[in-house]
Each structure stands twice: as C-alpha cells, then as structure tokens.
C-alpha cells in the first residue's frame, strides 16, 4: 500500500494565512461567528475550496460544504469537517486545523490524481464555539436534530442581534436542501486542547469518544459568626464543608482512573471576610465520564459524601444536578482505520478521550464518526498562546488523509485512466 | 457580707431608651462614632451621668469620664468603661451594656448610700467599633499609648471627613488633661458575642483574657485549564490545594482545644468558572490563641502543612503573616474578684476567653483589668437580632457591682455617718 502524504508546509502556510483574519496583537485570533471577520474567513475559504475544484454549497445555517465527486457519485459521501469561528482572543488552530487539514487532503488528492469511489465533502460548521450565540455546536446540532432552525434564528448576541439576521447580513444564508446529509463516515481533525499527547510524547491520537458531562450546583448553608468568639465545636462553617466537598469530588473522579475527571471550578463564599466564619458557600461540580452509568454513579457518591460532610460540619448541603450531556463513543471501525493510518506513518497509535465537545459529537448521532487529535503545546487552547508544531500538524493531516482513503471504498490509488 | 443588687428593670429600661437613638426598623441600632446619632447618645448619657451626681469631663479624644468621689479622693480610681458607638445595623447591647451597666452601678450605690474609699470613674470610650474610622478601639488605644492623637485626628471616613473635624463638629473635643489615667482597676461588662455561655447554660462569665490573633494571606498558584481535557494526574488545581488548606487550618486549631480557634473566612477563586480548573486561589487564615507561643506554633504547623499540600497538588503556595496582635491575659486578682462576686449571687463561676477585641485589651496595658460577659442569645452580635435576656443583663450588672466594691478598698457598706 502506498502511503500518500499531504504537503505539510502548504497546510501550515494556509493556517497562518487564515489566522490573519481577526488576528490579535498577541498572536491569537478573534473571529466570532457571523461577524465581519467570520465573513472574511468564509470568503477566503470559499476561494480556496473552489480553487481545489470543490463545488461549494451553503445551507440555511451558513454551513459551507465543498464537494469532490466520487467515481460513483450516488454513494454516501465521506465527510471531513470542523469550524473556523473562534472564541474571543482564541488561538490559530482550534477549529481551523480541521477545515484546512481537510482542504489540504483534497489538494493532495488532486495533485496525486487520486479519485475515490465515494464523493468527499469538506464542511465548515457555523458557530461551533457558542461564544457569540449560545449554545455551542449550533449548526451540527440542527443537522443532527438537536435544535430547530427556528430556535437558532432567534438566538441573540449581547447586542440584541439575532443569528438569522446576522447570517443574512454576512451573505451566508443558504437553503435547507444544501445541508450536509448523513454520510458514510465523518472524520474531524482537531488540536487536543489538553496535555495527554504531550505527556505521552505522541504527535497524534485517536479519539475514542467524547466524555459525558454532568454539572451540579452545590449550596452549603452554615451560620455566619465572628471568627473569635465561636468555639470550633459550636460552629456551622460552610467553607469547612465546602473544602471537604472539593476533596470528595477529586477522590470520586480518581477512583475510575483516566479519562474520568471531576472538577470544582467555581466557589463563592459569603460574607467572605477574613474574621467571619462563612455562613454560605455555593460551588459547582463538573463530572466527565465515558459512560452514562459512570456519571450517575459519581453523582450518587457525591450525594453520599455530602450527607456525611453535612453531618460532620453541622451544615446543610443541597445538590442540584442541573445539566447533563451523554457520552458519545465514536465508531469502532473508523477508530481502527485511524489507528491503522497512524501506524502507516510510523507513529504510535494512541487512544484518548475528548473531555470537550466538538461538532463530531452531534454528527456521530447520524453518521459513523471519529476524531483525530494533534498534540497541543502545554495543553493550551482557547487562548492566544495555543500552539501545535508544524510537524505535528502535518502528521495529523497525513493521518486524516489515510483514514479518509481507508473509508472510501475501492479507492486510494491514482485512477489508471 | 451584704449582697448589694442593682435595679435590673431600670437598667433594662435605660438600655432600651438609649437604643432609640439610631434605632433601625428591624430593631437594631446604627450609631457610628462621631455622627449626629453618637452626639445625641452622648448628650443623653451626659444628662444621666450628671443626674447620678457624676462630674463629667471630656478629653481630646471625646472620651467621656464621669467621676464619683471616693472617701479618699487621692486614691487611684476604680474604673468601669465601654462604648456607645455601634456598627452599621448593629444591636442594642454591644458596648451600651458596659456603659449603662456602670451607670446602674453608680445609681444603685447612690440609692444605697454607699461610699467607696477610692473614687469611681465611668468611661465611654470613643470609636471602639472602628467602622467609620479605622482602627478599632481608638480612644483606649491612644490612652494606652498604642496610637498618637495626631494620627487619630487625621483618620478619614469614606466621605473624607476627618476624626478631628467630626469630633469638633459634634462638640466633644475636650482637653488631654481630661483623659482617664491609670487606675487601681478597670472592669468592663459586655455581651459575650459568642455561644459559649449559652452552651453552658450560664448567664454570666469571667473573661480570662483576650486571645491573640494572627492573620495570614495565602496565595495558591496552579494552572487554569479546561475541566474536560486535563487528566487529574496532570493538573495544577489551586482550589484542590485551597480546600486542603481550609481543612488544615481547622485541624491545627482543634489540636489545642478551646478557646483556640482557626478560621478561613475569605477565599477567592480565579477564573471561577464551572468548567475551568482554578488557576489561582487566594484565601485567609485567622488564628487565635491565649499565648504568643501558641500562635507561632500554629503558623509553623500551617507552613508545614502547606508545603505538603503544594507537593501533593503540584501547586505553589505562598504565606504572608501580615498582622498579629498579642494575647492579653487579664489581672488574676481581679478575675478572682469577679468569680467571687458571681458566686455571691448563686451563679456558677464560668471562665472563658474573649475571641474579639475590647477597650479592656488596651487598658490592661496600663491598669489591672478584667471583663464580665453576659450570655448572648444564639451567640449573635453586630446584627439587629443581638439579644440578651433582661435577667442576664441584671445578673451581669450585679456581678459588676460586686466586683467593683471588692476592688474598692475598705468600702462596700453604707457610710455609718
């Protein structure tokens, strides 16, 4: 089997060129969904797609789909997708790598004269980040049937502009018939946004799925008193209880090992004065687990721990599990194809879970899906210091190319015609 | 020995009358130092003092001293003192009880025709609370040589008014020669502001001294990361470390038993978002102990604990012991007199420490001093719900009367002349 490779230099140059649109002084990018910057980014991407011979169509969500015909164009396509919108003061790689990595795959196939049986589609999803319009992964969510187009159009940004009006304004409101349909396969290349690959000294990893998430609000009610005159045994110290909850969240998550995590990210103390025993503390717990049963078990263990802590500290503790999203395991055959493509390039096949959401999460509900992660320096993302080395980026795109060819039946070699 | 008693009803009525000045809708009092309310309270107190035959003098701090001559007026006086300023939305008893309890002692001695060898002085200290002008216990601090009058005069409130100007404005700027001098004894009656007497079912307690205090600022530096993609073992979670510090502060304080206390009252998380591992936490520790050595040992144990926690959580922890005040043990002979006076009334003699500061703390540096605590319902104070039962208040004033008579040599019985 011939190992086809992308042009890594061209891909890295293309990434840097797109990063000029919305560039920040500190080397990052602010390119929020449906802004003038997003429009400029889309216009440039459209030029690149068309120059690569893709037939570009725009759907009613602003989703851009560039199609490369297959030998048998009636077959369901193999799709490559991600997004070019960013967070405020975000980085140059999050999202853009998946779209431009896909573009590079198309360019390389063109140069090598390779046809595939199935058509290939390159997709740029609208508003993955959910920063300007909530929630995140908006277009892929509509395509997967999670949200309705009517709801999405009414979403407003902080200035009262609606998603629908802004989509029209930037000239990217197309028709529902142009939406990407269910496909034979969907592969998304993305930076890891975490430190796992770096810690394993591996440039590329196969993403087994996206962890399920549960968010819990916790309220500890004690009694505020002067720090001096209140003996320890007569206190109702809400922060003492909260400190033990923070520890319990960690211990519960640690029991199941990686990739299970548990985090207390938010904690607020009242009245928050140096010499007053805290009367009330509100805090959050964020649990992530590859299985729904695992999530439920963690919550149950936290409830048990809080009952004990409340008793020991003479406080009252209320838990409110206010939001959950189920885990998404990716398609096993596609994961195997990614592993094999990785091995083809002499790289160690690495399995890891994604702790964050991606468009692939929703698309996995209608199409066999998988993701490929590229090592992130320092695990950083959603910041101006986000960085992946050019060689790692090239390696990720090579694996993407290999995986796409493996899923495209009867193809992989230049057309002998 | 005859057991002299105060008129409890009159004392409670007098307390309620003063509480009308600065009364809040919710049953509390706001009478900040050197405000119009403070002036009105002082004017009323002055009337009462003069009606009780006291010679009232005002010093350069606004301290009001009412003097009752002794048989031998050259002897150093026995002093009773406290303050009538309050915090914002404070209660009716904090401070006022000590001054009006002393007034009731004078009134009762007058009615019983009792003279004392030593003169008696009733003192209202200016700005004990330190709410409008910092620091607290201002006038007693100057008299004890802790602060200078020049510094005090320059202190400004939140509107830029100086202590000196406001003192003049309300008409209570007297002369330095009128300051209360060192005395034979100083006794301060005060509500407990804590739950100890209530938990012991005792109306009155003998205060052994005022705990020393150390305040420490603690900064935990970790690394902020997305809660999803960061495995537990690779985290630098500042809040996980801070939670363990909260627990360590409690454990260190609990080792020495009552009245030693340790409190984390303030804790701030950055960036404080539900799905971001906290990168930085700042928190405080408040340690209180009856001995200086004990305070130092607690701080040392906290440093050791933080070194261990920093290692276990891969964070950096900095401690800054930025403020300390030494413990003040009260005069043993005077404490014994308070115990004996308590027993005289058939009440259980109770020893306890004060965790909060009082004017007696500074005065103890120049005069043998002691304090008497009266049970506080629910341990509440500095709030509108502050409450001590009329019987407990009467009991406290009876003990004050007994202790003052015991310290006033050769007196205690009506003059046979």
Whether B244 contacts B238, CB under 8 Å: no
How many C-beta atoms surround the C-beta of residue A254 within 10 A? 14
A409: confidence class by pLDDT, cuts 50, 70, 90: low
Please compute the mean of the pLDDT values over residues A205-223 and round it to a whole number: 97
DSSP 3-state of B83 = coil
Q: Read off the tokens for B42.
A: 């002082």
Please compute the mean of the pLDDT values over residues B199-224 and round it to a whole number: 97
Q: What is the pLDDT of residues B106-129, one digit of tens each?
A: 999 999 999 999 999 999 999 999
CA atoms within 13 Å, Cβ hemisphere of B34: 30
* Binary contact (B265, A247; C-beta < 8 A): no
Pair type for strands B64-68 and B120-124: antiparallel
Task: Give the pLDDT confidence score for residue A3 in this predicted structure.
Answer: 78
Measured in whole angstroms, how far is the alpha carbon of residue A241 from the centre of its chain?
Answer: 34
The answer on pLDDT for A81 being more than 90 is yes
One-character DSSP codes across A348-392 = PP-EEEESS--HHHHHTTTS-EEEEEE--GGG--SSTT----HHH
Q: What is the pLDDT of residues B41-95, one digit of tens each?
A: 999 999 999 999 999 999 999 999 999 999 999 999 999 999 999 999 999 999 9
Give chain A positions within 8 Å (CB) of B275.
215, 263, 265, 286
Q: What is the pLDDT of residues A163-187, one digit of tens each?
A: 999 999 999 999 999 999 999 999 9
B408: confidence class by pLDDT, cuts 50, 70, 90: confident
Task: Give the pLDDT confidence score for residue B260 in this predicted structure.
Answer: 97
Task: Give the pLDDT confidence score for residue A415 in this predicted structure.
Answer: 43
User: What's the predicted TM-score (pTM) here?
Assistant: 0.86
Please compute the mean of the pLDDT values over residues A323-339 and round it to a whole number: 96
Q: Closest Cα of chain A to B60: distance in Å? A: 31
The percentage of residues in chain A with a pLDDT greater than 90, rounded to a whole number, is 94
* Cα-Cα end-to-end distance for chain A: 19
Task: Give the pLDDT confidence score for residue B225 in this predicted structure.
Answer: 86
Question: CB contact, 8 Å: A288 with chain B?
Answer: yes
- From A250, A258, A379, residue closest to B225, measured CB to CB: A379
Measured in whole angstroms, how far is the alpha carbon of residue B417 from the centre of its chain?
Answer: 41
Q: Closest Cα of chain A to B383: distance in Å? A: 10
The answer on pLDDT for A1 being more than 70 is no
Interface of B with A in 179-198 (CB under 8 A): 192-196
Of the ranges A286-295, B29-38, B102-111, B378-387, which one carries the lowest mean pLDDT score? B378-387
Q: What is the pLDDT of residues B180-197, one digit of tens each?
A: 999 999 999 999 999 999
Question: B260: nearest CA in chain A?
Answer: A231
Task: Give the pLDDT confidence score for residue B409 in this predicted structure.
Answer: 59
B3: confidence class by pLDDT, cuts 50, 70, 90: confident
Q: Closest Cα of chain A to B119: distance in Å? A: 33
* Binary contact (A194, B230; C-beta < 8 A): yes
Rounded distance, CA B284 to CA B303, Å? Answer: 13
Q: Closest Cα of chain B to A379: distance in Å? A: 8
Rounded distance, CA A232 to CA B201, Å? Answer: 18
> Which position has the token pair 């259980």?
B348
The answer on pLDDT for A416 being more than 60 is no
Please compute the mean of the pLDDT values over residues B258-277 and round it to a whole number: 95
Give chain B positions within 8 Å (CB) of A264.
239-240, 243, 278
Q: What is the CATH number of domain A8-210+328-407?
A: 3.40.630.10
Give chain A positions within 8 Å (CB) of B237.
250, 263
Please compute the mean of the pLDDT values over residues B337-357 and round it to a whole number: 95
The residues near B247 (Cβ < 8 Å, ≥ 6 apart) are A240, A243, A244, A247
Task: Give the pLDDT confidence score for residue B84 in this predicted structure.
Answer: 98
Break chain A into its structural domains and give their ranges. 8-210+328-407, 212-325
Task: Give the pLDDT confidence score for residue B157 in this predicted structure.
Answer: 95
Measured in whole angstroms, how far is the alpha carbon of residue A346 from the centre of its chain?
Answer: 27
Interface of B with A in 336-355 (CB under 8 A): 354-355
Task: Give the pLDDT confidence score for residue A117 in this predicted structure.
Answer: 94
Rounded distance, CA B112 to CA A192, Å? Answer: 87
Rounded distance, CA B149 to CA B146, Å? Answer: 10
Task: Give the pLDDT confidence score for residue B67 in this predicted structure.
Answer: 98
Please compute the mean of the pLDDT values over residues A193-220 and round it to a whole number: 96
Please compute the mean of the pLDDT values over residues B151-174 and round it to a whole number: 97
Please compute the mean of the pLDDT values over residues A368-377 and round it to a whole number: 98
- From A215, A245, A379, residue closest to B230, measured CB to CB: A379
Long-range contacts of B49-58 (CB under 8 A, 24+ apart): B49/B103, B49/B122, B52/B103, B52/B106, B52/B107, B52/B110, B53/B106, B53/B110, B54/B106, B54/B122, B57/B174, B57/B178, B58/B172, B58/B173, B58/B174, B58/B175, B58/B178
Pair type for strands A55-58 and A64-68: antiparallel
Whether A169 contacts A62, CB under 8 Å: no
Give chain B positions within 8 Å (CB) of A254.
232
The residues near A116 (Cβ < 8 Å, ≥ 6 apart) are A68, A70, A71, A78, A109, A404, A405, A408, A411, A412
Class of residue B390 by CB neighbours under 10 A (exposed 0-12, middle 13-18, buried 19+)? middle
The answer on pLDDT for A35 being more than 80 is yes
The answer on pLDDT for B101 being more than 60 is yes
* Binary contact (B265, A242; C-beta < 8 A): no
Rounded distance, CA B62 to CA B289, Å? Answer: 32
A407: confidence class by pLDDT, cuts 50, 70, 90: confident
Q: What is the pLDDT of residues A122-158, one digit of tens each?
A: 999 999 999 999 999 999 999 999 999 999 999 999 9
The answer on pLDDT for B207 being more than 60 is yes
Task: Give the pLDDT confidence score for residue A2 in this predicted structure.
Answer: 56
Q: Read off the tokens for B190.
A: 């005060």
Task: Give the pLDDT confidence score for residue B2 in this predicted structure.
Answer: 56
Please compute the mean of the pLDDT values over residues A68-83 and round it to a whole number: 96
* Binary contact (B240, A250; C-beta < 8 A): yes
Please compute the mean of the pLDDT values over residues B243-272 and round it to a whole number: 97
A408: confidence class by pLDDT, cuts 50, 70, 90: confident
Whether A64 contacts A42, CB under 8 Å: yes
Average pLDDT, chain A: 95
Rounded distance, CA A267 to CA A286, Å? Answer: 12
Q: What is the CATH number of domain A212-325?
A: 3.30.70.360
> Which position has the token pair 């740029």?
A124
B141: confidence class by pLDDT, cuts 50, 70, 90: very high
Give chain B positions within 8 Å (CB) of A253.
232
> Which position has the token pair 């035959």?
B53
The answer on pLDDT for B417 being more than 80 is no
Q: Closest Cα of chain A to B177: distance in Å? A: 35
């Amino acid at each position: 089997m011939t190992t086809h490779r992308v042009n890594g230099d061209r891909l890295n140059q293309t990434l840097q060129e797109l990063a000029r649109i919305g560039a920040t002084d500190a080397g990052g990018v602010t390119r929020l969904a449906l802004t003038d910057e997003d429009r400029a980014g889309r216009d440039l991407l459209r030029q690149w797609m068309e120059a690569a011979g893709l037939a570009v169509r725009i759907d009613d969500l602003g989703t851009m789909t560039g199609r490369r015909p297959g030998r048998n164009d009636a077959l369901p396509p193999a799709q490559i997708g991600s997004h070019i919108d960013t967070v405020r003061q975000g980085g140059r790689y999050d999202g853009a790598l998946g779209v431009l990595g896909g573009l590079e795959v198309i360019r390389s196939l063109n140069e090598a004269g390779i046809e595939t049986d199935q058509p290939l589609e390159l997709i740029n999803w609208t508003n993955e980040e959910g920063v300007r319009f909530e929630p995140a992964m908006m277009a892929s969510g509509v395509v997967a049937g999670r949200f309705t187009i009517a709801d999405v159009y009414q979403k407003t940004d902080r200035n009262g502009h609606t998603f629908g009006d802004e989509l029209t304004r930037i000239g990217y409101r197309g028709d529902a018939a142009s939406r990407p349909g269910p496909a034979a396969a969907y592969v998304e290349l993305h930076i890891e946004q975490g430190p796992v690959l770096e810690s394993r000294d591996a440039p590329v990893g196969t993403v087994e799925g996206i962890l399920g998430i549960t968010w819990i609000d916790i309220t500890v009610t004690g009694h505020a008193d002067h720090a001096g005159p209140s003996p320890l045994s007569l206190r109702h110290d809400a922060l003492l209880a909260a400190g033990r909850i923070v520890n319990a969240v960690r211990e519960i998550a640690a029991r199941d090992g990686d990739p299970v995590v548990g985090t207390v990210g938010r904690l607020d103390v009242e009245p928050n004065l140096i010499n007053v025993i805290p009367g009330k503390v509100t805090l959050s717990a964020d649990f992530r687990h590859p299985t729904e049963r695992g999530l439920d078990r963690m919550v149950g263990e936290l409830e048990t721990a809080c009952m004990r802590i409340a008793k020991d500290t003479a406080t009252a503790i209320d838990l409110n599990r206010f939001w959950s999203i189920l885990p998404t395991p990716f398609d096993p055959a596609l994961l195997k194809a990614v592993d094999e493509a990785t091995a083809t390039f002499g790289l160690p096949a690495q399995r890891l879970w994604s702790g964050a959401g991606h468009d692939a999460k929703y698309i996995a509900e209608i199409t066999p899906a998988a993701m490929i992660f590229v090592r992130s320096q320092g695990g950083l993302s959603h910041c101006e210091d986000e960085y992946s080395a050019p060689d790692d980026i090239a390696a990720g795109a090579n694996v993407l190319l290999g995986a796409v060819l493996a899923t495209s039946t009867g193809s992989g070699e230049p057309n002998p015609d």
